[in-house]
Amino acid sequence: MTGAPLVQQPSGARAWLLSPEPASRWQARLGRFYLGWRAFSKNPLAVLGLGVVLLLILVAIFADLIAPYSPIIGGNLRTERLLPPSAAHWFGTDDLARDIFSRVVYGSRTTLWVVMLVAIIATPIGLAMGTVAGYLGGWVDTVLMRITDIFLAFPRLILALAFVAALGPGIDNAIIAIAITSWPPYARIARAETLTIRNSDFIAAVKLQGASTPRIILGHVVPLCLSSLIVRVTLDMAGIILTAAGLGFLGLGAQPPMPEWGAMVATGRNYLIDQWWVAAMPGAAIFVVSLGFNLLGDGLRDVLDPKAAK
Amino acid sequence: MTEPMLDIQNLSVVFGTGRLRVDAVKDVSFHVEPGASFGLVGESGSGKSTVLRAVCGLAPISGGRVMVNGQAVKSPRDKSFYRTAQMVFQDPYASLHPRHTVDRTLSEPLAIHGEKNAEARILEALREVGLGPSFRFRYPHQLSGGQRQRIAIARALILRPKILLLDEPTSALDASVQAEVLNLLDELRVRLGLTYVLVSHDLAVVAHLCDRLLVMRQGEAVEETTAAALRSGQAANEYTRALIQASQGFARDGVEPVLV
Amino acid sequence: MTKPLLEVEDLRVRFHLRTGIVEAVRGVSFQLGHERLGIVGESGSGKSQTGRAILGLTPPPGEVVAKRLTFDGIDLLTASKRTLRTLRGGRISMVMQDPKYSLNPVMTIGEQIIEAYQAHRKASRGEARDKTLAMLEAVKMRDPSRVFSLYPHEVSGGMGQRAMIAMMLVTDPDMLIADEPTSALDVTVQMEVLRILDELVAERGMGLIFISHDLKLVSSFCDRVLVMYAGHVVEELEARHLREAKHPYTQGLMNCLPKLKDDIRPLPTLNRDPAWAL
Ligand SMILES: Nc1ncnc2c1ncn2[C@@H]1O[C@H](COP(=O)(O)OP(=O)(O)OP(=O)(O)O)[C@@H](O)[C@H]1O
Ligand SMILES: Nc1ncnc2c1ncn2[C@@H]1O[C@H](COP(=O)(O)OP(=O)(O)OP(=O)(O)O)[C@@H](O)[C@H]1O
Ligand SMILES: [Mg+2]
Ligand SMILES: [Mg+2]
């Protein structure tokens, strides 16, 4: 069999990565990863998104080093309350004379924590529900998908509100509430993907080798659903941050004095006309990070899920 | 007489119910001796693939008996069954997992059956189908159609089955690659003492690889005949004659087909 | 002969891949009238990419250049996306290789054909349904109404292929590019399907490009044959004279077919000469 002739060939480390005959599992995997990275890095917006997300992570890790003031203990209430942005207080101060920049920096921890936990809880639930329903079909599918439909029927914020009302306010309960309300779309996506692959020959082939159902789902179905799911979760992150902020804004998320962007916007609401920076600075942070996740998600989609990208 | 490796008696397969009910296989019987090679030919949709799938448990057996290596098959099939019979699918583009390297594809059956020294077995399996170790860590998209089909054959052989069920193993391949795969199958059968059941719509391919064959139409067995009879153009059944006639090439009305 | 339906001159298809640039088609030229033109060649020789390029279906990151590419006077290279869309599936159709891949796995066969029909012809659902059933019957499906409501994984390989052909012929195209349309069909059904295509060419003057690796079939069915190797045409000849091909590549391809009449084993395989690719 002749391939079409290759006109131009790479050299050096790239050649090693792109070798059509990798010599080890690692080389094959790295080569695949490198190809993905090449496609990803061609998209400047996606790289910008990745930059924002990395920045969020770094800021959260080094919050102690970055923040010039304590996020909780304010300054002199008489002289340092509601100061506009200046060299001493980059983002100004709030009604309790706390440095807003420091609070935004520490707030990134809360945001990251929310995003991470929701991803860790909701993705596996959605993945498990969707692949099991799609693969097994029949009554299992009907039951699991009806449950999913019930969750899907409620607007996310309302359902989260109901959960928080039942569990009591607090950041951890808010996370659980958000996680419980975010998995249904993931289950739908995973099921749809599973339906298109469950009758394929390569699944029949591994059945013929005597593989058990869990083995087939975990080893053969899940890897194929994962990429579209990662894309979707990343794109959803913006919504999750907004929901968390919304809960904070309503006083049902993070409790004072914990720095949380949504709650900070809520406090700023009272001073919106004269001291705009109190609400605007955390608001901008929410905006930038949401946008960052969205751009990253779009870029990942081009790489991982080229079909959906069109 | 030796006991047949595969013995199928009055096999029926039914799909669907009501308006969508279809008798895909009706009362089909045949048997294959150890080390022999048996062909299934016939109309498209006549149930050839379904017979193979029913043997493997991928299609329901609605009636009749399937004996593999002297034992009636159990539903669901047990692990020892899969060590006796394996299948190669028609479409090499669809039968390999797109995200698994050749290494992963070949190590999966070994892992499922808890086999030892996977390393050596994988390299041996690759060598058997005429591929070097350089193919081991490639992904399917880095392989040509013929190479993929070789990997599919290697995967089927790695558990050392006695019977290989081949569902149109070369119909997606071009002439030169088809010749390579047919030569490979021929050689492997002799060397490993395998029993083949081959489905194909190409009479020349069936005649090349098989000694005896069954002609199927609309789910029923029409005629059992031999490759020699096929070559000499003898056939009792009208449909078989039509098949032989049609395989000479396209004939416009009144014009004799050009023999190639 | 009347004005050709399709004119292709120096067609090139390039893929700018991360691993380098691949030229899949390198300077293919031919004309198609109201006739049956066969394209043969081994896997990867660029047959499908030639067909796809004509329809503007080259997958990204592919790039198509040609000195000339016209269909019935319309320049396909400069035509707007909209013109191309109405041509595609309407006046020009293509039966893709690998039907099971091209059919939507979660939609019934009937729905897919109806959708294709309604995309190009104004018709009520009832009409579209009747036309679909008639088309399924025309491609010799037994029990068309059952096949209508089956999903792609529930039909046999050959039935899927015929469903695909039905879908492409339902709009009565003027030109059909058929990429390995009969590779999964048994010989008798294959003949029936070829007879339909043959009629369309003879009676309606359809132009047919028939891509295949089955030389035996092409030589008996087509009028002319292009033999491709590594992206270019190594030989063009009358289909009836394929047996007397001059190029060693064409001869090699002919020889490696198993023959019903005499039993050669092992079968001869191709020894490729690097000079052929030049
Ligand atoms: N899962 C299924 N559900 C419903 N019907 C099915 C299913 N699988 C196969 N059939 C039906 O069984 C019949 C026989 O199909 P089969 O795939 O065995 O044909 P085949 O002889 O292999 O044909 P081909 O040569 O075209 O591959 C067809 O009518 C098909 O529609
Ligand atoms: N998306 C793509 N990216 C890069 N290269 C491609 C792409 N699609 C096809 N090619 C290359 O183009 C060449 C021609 O492919 P094409 O599909 O036209 O072959 P073919 O003659 O139809 O073969 P077959 O008989 O296997 O269908 C091949 O070498 C292939 O590697
Ligand atoms: Mg079949
Ligand atoms: Mg092709």
Is C257's CB within 8 Å of B179's CB? yes
C230 lies within 8 A of chain A by CB: yes
Cβ-nearest to A7 among C21, C44, C272:
C21
Which 3 state secondary structure label does DSSP give A119?
helix
Q: Cα separation of C272 and C213, whole Å? A: 17
> Residue C213 in contact with residue C42, Cβ under 8 Å?
yes
Locate the chain A residue with the closest alpha carbon to C232.
Answer: A4
In a domain, C130, yes or no: no
CA nearest neighbour of B172 among B193, B204, B147, B209: B147
Residues of chain C in contact with residue A191, where contact means CB-CB under 8 angstroms, are: none
Side-chain half-sphere exposure of A132, counting CA atoms within 13 A: 14
Q: Cα separation of B164 and A171, whole Å? A: 60
Q: Cα separation of A169 and A172, whole Å? A: 9
At residue A308, the pLDDT reads 52
At residue C19, the pLDDT reads 64
- Per-residue pLDDT of C201-238, as tens digits, reads 888 888 999 998 888 888 889 999 999 988 889 999 89
What would the two tokens of residue A46 be?
């996606």
**Hey, of B97, B165, B174, which one would you mutate to test binding to chain A, going by the most A CBs within 10 A of its CB?**
B97
Cβ-nearest to C43 among B168, B173, B260:
B173
At residue B260, the pLDDT reads 41
- Per-residue pLDDT of B80-92, as tens digits, reads 999 999 999 988 8
At residue B258, the pLDDT reads 44
* Contacts with C, A 25-54, CB within 8 Å: 35, 38-39
Q: How many structural domains are present in chain C? A: 1
* A85 cis-preceded (ω within 30 degrees of 0): no
Percentage of residues in chain A having pLDDT higher than 70: 95
Q: How many CB pairs under 8 A join A and B?
A: 83
**Atom 5 in ligand 2: residue holding the nearest Cα:** C15
User: What DSSP designation does A93 have?
Assistant: B
B254 pLDDT exceeds 50?
no
Burial C63-100 (b: 16+ CB within 10 A, else e): ebebeebbbbeeebeebeeeebeebbbbbbbbbbbbbb
CA nearest neighbour of C200 among C178, C175, C225: C175
CA of B42 to the centre of ligand 3 (A): 10
Residues of chain C in contact with residue A6, where contact means CB-CB under 8 angstroms, are: 19-22
Is A4's CB within 8 Å of C19's CB? no
The confidence band for B33, taking pLDDT boundaries of 50, 70 and 90, is: very high
The confidence band for A6, taking pLDDT boundaries of 50, 70 and 90, is: low
Average confidence (pLDDT) over B126-149: 84
Q: Identify the weakest region by mean pLDDT among A147-156, A180-189, B45-54.
A: A147-156
In a domain, C190, yes or no: no
What would the two tokens of residue B224 be?
């059992």
**Atom 8 in ligand 1: residue holding the nearest Cα:** C154
User: What DSSP designation does A24 have?
Assistant: S
Residues of chain C in contact with residue B214, where contact means CB-CB under 8 angstroms, are: none
At residue A53, the pLDDT reads 93
Is C19's CB within 8 Å of A10's CB? yes
Is A28's CB within 8 Å of B138's CB? yes
CA nearest neighbour of B135 among B116, B115, B117, B155: B155
C269 lies within 8 A of chain A by CB: no
Q: Identify the weakest region by mean pLDDT among A72-76, A135-139, B68-72, B111-115.
A: A72-76
ipTM: 0.86
**Atom 18 in ligand 2: residue holding the nearest Cα:** C46
A288 pLDDT exceeds 90?
yes
In a domain, C23, yes or no: yes
Backbone φ and ψ for C243, nearest 5 degrees, come out as -60, -35
**Ligand positioned closest to the Cα atom of B144:** 2
- Per-residue pLDDT of C52-64, as tens digits, reads 899 888 887 788 9
The confidence band for C263, taking pLDDT boundaries of 50, 70 and 90, is: confident
- Per-residue pLDDT of C92-123, as tens digits, reads 988 887 766 778 888 899 999 998 888 888 88
At residue A8, the pLDDT reads 53
At residue C11, the pLDDT reads 92
For the Cβ of C47 lying below 6 angstroms from any atom of ligand 2, the answer is: yes
Backbone φ and ψ for C12, nearest 5 degrees, come out as -130, 135
C258 pLDDT exceeds 80?
yes
3-class DSSP string for chain C: CCCCCEEEEEEEEEEEECCEEEEEEEEEEEEECCCEEEEEECCCCCHHHHHHHHHCCCCCCEEEECCEEEECCEECCCCCHHHHHHHECCCEEEECCCHHHHCCCCCCHHHHHHHHHHHHCCCCHHHHHHHHHHHHHHCCCCCHHHHHCCCHHHCCHHHHHHHHHHHHHCCCCCEEEEECCCCCCCHHHHHHHHHHHHHHHHHHCCEEEEECCCHHHHHHHCCEEEEEECCEEEEEEEHHHHHHCCCHHHHHHHHCCCCCCCCCCCCCCCCCCHHHHC
Report all structural domains of chain B as residue ranges with CATH numbers, in order of start: 6-95+163-247 (3.40.50.300)
Sequence spans of domains, chain A: 40-73+88-304
In a domain, C11, yes or no: yes
Cβ-nearest to C187 among B144, B178, B203:
B203
Say if pTM beats, i.e. exceeds, 0.90: no
Q: Identify the weakest region by mean pLDDT among A73-82, A267-276, B97-106, C144-153.
A: A73-82
What would the two tokens of residue B31 be?
């048997």
In a domain, C108, yes or no: no
At residue C214, the pLDDT reads 82
At residue B259, the pLDDT reads 42
The confidence band for B1, taking pLDDT boundaries of 50, 70 and 90, is: low
The partner residues of B163 in beta bridges, in order of sequence, read: B85, B195
Is B87's CB within 8 Å of A200's CB? no
- Per-residue pLDDT of C132-141, as tens digits, reads 999 898 888 8
C18 lies within 8 A of chain A by CB: yes
> Residue C249 in contact with residue C234, Cβ under 8 Å?
yes
Q: Cα separation of A183 and A123, whole Å? A: 6
In a domain, C259, yes or no: yes
3-class DSSP string for chain B: CCCCCEEEEEEEEEECCHHHCEEEEEEEEEEECCCCEEEEEECCCCCHHHHHHHHHCCCCCCEEEEEECCEECCCCCCHHHHHHEEEECCCCCCCCCCCCCHHHHHHHHHHHCCCCCHHHHHHHHHHHCCCCHHHCCCCHHHCCHHHHHHHHHHHHHCCCCCEEEEECCCCCCCHHHHHHHHHHHHHHHHHHCCEEEEECCCHHHHHHHCCEEEEEECCEEEEEEEHHHHHCCCCCCHHHHHHHHHCCCCCCCCCCCCCC
**Atom 27 in ligand 1: residue holding the nearest Cα:** C157
Q: Cα separation of C90 and C172, whole Å? A: 7
How many Cβ atoms from other residues are within 10 Å of residue B66's Cβ?
18
Locate the chain C residue with the closest alpha carbon to B180.
Answer: C269
At residue A5, the pLDDT reads 52
Average confidence (pLDDT) over A219-225: 91
CA of B89 to the centre of ligand 3 (A): 9
Q: Cα separation of A142 and A185, whole Å? A: 16
- Per-residue pLDDT of A84-132, as tens digits, reads 888 888 888 888 888 999 999 999 998 889 889 998 999 999 999 999 9
Cβ-nearest to A4 among C18, C44, C272:
C44
User: CATH top-level class for A40-73+88-304?
Assistant: mainly alpha
Pocket test for ligand 2, best of C16, C19, C22 (most atoms within 8 A of CB): C22
Q: What is the overall mean pLDDT for chain A?
A: 85
**Hey, of A202, A216, A220, A303, which one would you mutate to test binding to chain B, going by the most B CBs within 10 A of its CB?**
A202
> Residue C77 in contact with residue C66, Cβ under 8 Å?
yes
Average confidence (pLDDT) over C68-94: 87
> Residue A179 in contact with residue A186, Cβ under 8 Å?
no
CATH of the domain at C76: 3.40.50
A305 pLDDT exceeds 90?
no
Cβ-nearest to A201 among B95, B139, B147:
B95
Which 3 state secondary structure label does DSSP give A50?
helix
Average confidence (pLDDT) over A144-151: 92
Average confidence (pLDDT) over A157-176: 84
Q: Which domain holds residue C246?
A: 1-86+223-278
Q: Cα separation of A201 and B169, whole Å? A: 13
In a domain, C13, yes or no: yes
**Atom 22 in ligand 1: residue holding the nearest Cα:** B49
The confidence band for B256, taking pLDDT boundaries of 50, 70 and 90, is: very low
What lines the ligand 1 site, CB under 6 Å?
A: B 15-16, 22, 24, 44-50, 201; C 154-159, 184, 186
- Which chains form contacts with chain C, at 3 or more CB pairs under 8 Å? A, B
How many Cβ atoms from other residues are within 10 Å of residue C113's Cβ?
25
In a domain, C148, yes or no: no
Amino acid at B223: E
Residue where the block lists tokens 């295509």: C197
> Residue B70 in contact with residue B33, Cβ under 8 Å?
no
Task: Please tell me which residue, A95 or B165, carries the higher pLDDT value.
Answer: B165
Average confidence (pLDDT) over C17-21: 69
- Per-residue pLDDT of B182-218, as tens digits, reads 998 999 999 999 999 999 888 889 999 999 999 999 8
Which 3 state secondary structure label does DSSP give A41?
helix
Percentage of residues in chain C having pLDDT higher than 90: 22
> Residue B171 in contact with residue C183, Cβ under 8 Å?
yes
Task: Please tell me which residue, C65 or C59, carries the higher pLDDT value.
Answer: C65
